[in-house]
């Protein structure tokens, strides 16, 4: 028996639990690492020609950037363990975009570790650019990627013979998008998805600027305070476009959530817009704590709406033509053959690990998850504001050798 992509299959409680936990990990990553990415991109916007101001910005996120990044590693590990089919499909079908994310994270990490190893200004400028470019790449690719989940990533059925199965039997396996490069890479950059990428860049810039208003003083604070309202308004407009476009155009292709899911997406999306508007209002009134909370919650609620959109389907949709061909094949090629049920659907049921695996993961999570509370303790030890005036002196760039 063949199951069409759009026909929902029963989802177990542990599968729902681990989908929610993975969503929490992604939301935590974008809430915390979002302002890190934003500050990295702001190097070249606020202080491109002031190395000492960039140094203040580096130090504002220096103690915690790598800890924030652990949320991404944990989200990836949880996806691999709980939904290996989801993980494998993404890394095989979307290999190049995810490779770009890896490159961005690598050059960004190198910039933090190597920036202070040489007193030369050119050296430091080069690694500051690495941080800015790496942050931009990661945010852009993730924004485009999650927008594609909302739009729905095509799964195309491809027929092939499988050795060892019933003689003369043709099986069908799913592949992401088309088999050519243009479909797998450039096919992701649809107008809606480009808006998603630009939106996430603007949100992270706003979140980073709000963070600098909390962590800095002096000239850096003045620049961040002036920039934060402008970028918050831009982010609010882009969030509004994304929410309205995404919910109006791509809200009926999820059989798992139905009308309730559509209503939730509208409500949560509107909350995200209002929070980003609130961030712009509060920072204009010098309520920096509230403005930072608003940008963080705006990012969080936006990703809650995205995970509502992909609940059950995991962001996959069937290619109508291939589904039709598959059912035609089932009525001819498989006539009279004793074949177990086979489904091309990629969803929370067909991509998940076994029940025992999910049980063991749940027990382990109960024991380990409370450890993340150390993050609160760590942040409590880095609350003082930084400025150019209170940074220790650095070695200056060596003078050029005198000519003889």
How confident is the model at residue 179, as a pLDDT? 44
Residues 155-183: what's their mean pLDDT?
Answer: 46
Least confident range from 213-217, 314-318, 369-373: namely 369-373
- Residue of 110, 186, 104, 111 whose CA lies nearest to 140: 104
**251-271 mean pLDDT:** 87
What's the confidence (pLDDT) of residue 184? Answer: 64
- Give the residue carrying structure tokens 């598959």: 326
Top-confidence residue, 12 or 20: 20
Residue 312 backbone zone (phi > 0: left; psi -120 to 50: alpha; other: beta): left
Binned at pLDDT 50, 70 and 90, residue 20 comes out as very high
Give the separation between CA 81 and CA 365, rounded to whole angstroms: 12
pTM of the model: 0.83
Distance CA 231, CA 404 (A): 53
Mean of per-residue pLDDT scores for the chain: 81
197 token code pair: 């990428």
How does pLDDT run across 344-355, given as a tens digit for each residue? 567 888 888 888
Position 258 scores a pLDDT of 82
- Looking at residue 279, its pLDDT comes to 95
Residue 160 banded pLDDT, cuts 50, 70, 90: very low
Structure confidence at residue 358 (pLDDT):
92
Q: How many angstroms from the chain centroid is the CA of residue 194?
A: 14
- The candidate with the shortest Cα–Cα distance to 351, out of 22, 81, 58, is 81
Task: Give the domains, in start order, of the chain with CATH numbers.
Answer: 2-380 (1.20.1630.10)
Residue 45 CA, chain-centre distance (Å), reads 23
Check residue 374 and give its pLDDT: 74
Would you give the end-to-end CA distance of the chain in angstroms? Answer: 87
As a whole number of angstroms, the distance between CA 363 and CA 366 comes to: 5
Pairing of strands 170-176, 153-161: antiparallel
Distance CA 344, CA 222 (A): 56
* CB 375 within 8 Å of CB 71: no
Q: Which residue has the higher pLDDT, 252 or 259?
A: 259
Sort residue 258 into left (φ over 0), alpha (ψ -120 to 50) or beta: left
Rounded average pLDDT over 275-298: 95
Q: Residue 322: which pLDDT band, with cuts at 50, 70 and 90?
A: very low
- From the list 103, 111, 165, the residue with the least C-alpha distance to 140 is 103
Split at pLDDT 50, 70, 90, the class of 334 is very low
pLDDT digits (tens, 9 = 90+) for 222-233: 999 999 999 999
Predicted confidence band of residue 105 (pLDDT cuts 50, 70, 90): very high
Q: What is the 3-state secondary structure (H, E, C) of the chain?
A: CEECCCCCCCCCHHHHHHHHHHHHHHHHHHHHHHHHHHHHHHHHHHCCCCHHHHHHHHHHHCCCHHHHHHHHHHHHHHHHHHCHHHHHHHHHHCHHHHHHHHHHHHHHHHHHHHHHHCCCHHHHHHHHHHHHHHHHHHHHHHHHHHHHHHHCEEEEEEEEECCCCCCCCEEEEEEECCCCHHHHCHHHCCHHHHHHHHHHHHHHHHHHHHHHHHHECCHHHHHHHHHHHHHHHHHHHHHHHHHHHHHHHCCCCCCCCHHHHHHHHHHHHHHHHHHHHHHHHHHHCCCHHHHHHHHHHHHHHHHHHHHHHCCCCCCEEECHHHHHHHHHHHHHCCCCCCCCCEECCCCCCCCCCCHHHHHHHHHHHHHHHHHHHHHHHHHHCCCCCECCCCCCCCCCCCCCCCCC
How confident is the model over 208-233, as a mean pLDDT? 93
């Amino acid at each position: 028996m063949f199951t069409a992509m759009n026909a929902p299959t029963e989802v177990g409680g542990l599968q729902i639990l681990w989908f929610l936990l993975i969503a929490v990990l992604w939301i935590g990553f974008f809430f915390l690492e979002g302002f890190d990415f934003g500050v990295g991109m702001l190097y070249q916007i606020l202080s491109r020609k002031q190395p000492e101001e960039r140094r203040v910005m580096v130090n504002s996120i220096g103690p915690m950037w790598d800890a924030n990044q652990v949320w991404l590693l944990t989200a990836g590990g949880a996806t691999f363990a709980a939904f290996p089919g989801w993980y494998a499909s993404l890394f095989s079908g979307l290999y190049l975009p995810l490779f770009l994310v890896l490159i961005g994270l690598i050059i960004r990490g190198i910039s933090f570790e190597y920036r202070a190893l040489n007193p030369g200004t050119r050296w430091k400028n080069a690694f500051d650019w690495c941080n800015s470019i790496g942050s931009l790449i990661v945010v852009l690719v993730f924004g485009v990627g999650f927008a594609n989940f909302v739009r729905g990533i095509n799964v195309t059925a491809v027929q092939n013979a499988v050795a060892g199965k019933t003689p003369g039997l043709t099986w069908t396996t799913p592949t992401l998008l088309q088999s050519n490069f243009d479909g797998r890479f450039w096919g992701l950059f649809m107008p809606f998805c480009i808006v998603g990428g630009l939106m996430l860049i603007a949100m992270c810039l706003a979140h980073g600027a709000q963070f600098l208003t909390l962590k800095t003083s002096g000239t850096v604070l003045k620049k961040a305070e002036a920039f934060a309202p402008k970028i918050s308004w831009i982010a609010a407009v882009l969030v509004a476009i994304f929410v309205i476009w995404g919910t109006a155009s791509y809200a009926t292709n999820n059989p798992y959530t139905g009308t309730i899911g559509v209503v939730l997406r509208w409500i949560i999306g509107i909350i995200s817009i209002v929070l980003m508007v609130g961030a712009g209002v509060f920072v204009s009134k010098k309520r920096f704590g509230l403005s930072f909370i608003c940008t963080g919650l705006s990012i969080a609620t936006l990703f809650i709406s995205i995970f509502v959109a992909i609940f059950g389907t995991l962001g996959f949709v069937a290619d109508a033509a291939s589904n039709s061909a598959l059912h035609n094949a089932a009525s001819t090629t498989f006539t009279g053959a004793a074949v177990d049920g086979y489904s091309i659907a990629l969803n929370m049921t067909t991509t998940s690990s076994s029940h025992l695996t999910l049980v063991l993961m749940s027990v382990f999570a109960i024991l380990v998850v409370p450890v993340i509370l150390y993050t609160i303790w760590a942040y409590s030890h880095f609350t003082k504001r930084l400025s150019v005036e209170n940074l220790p002196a650095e070695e200056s760039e060596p003078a050029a050798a005198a000519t003889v």
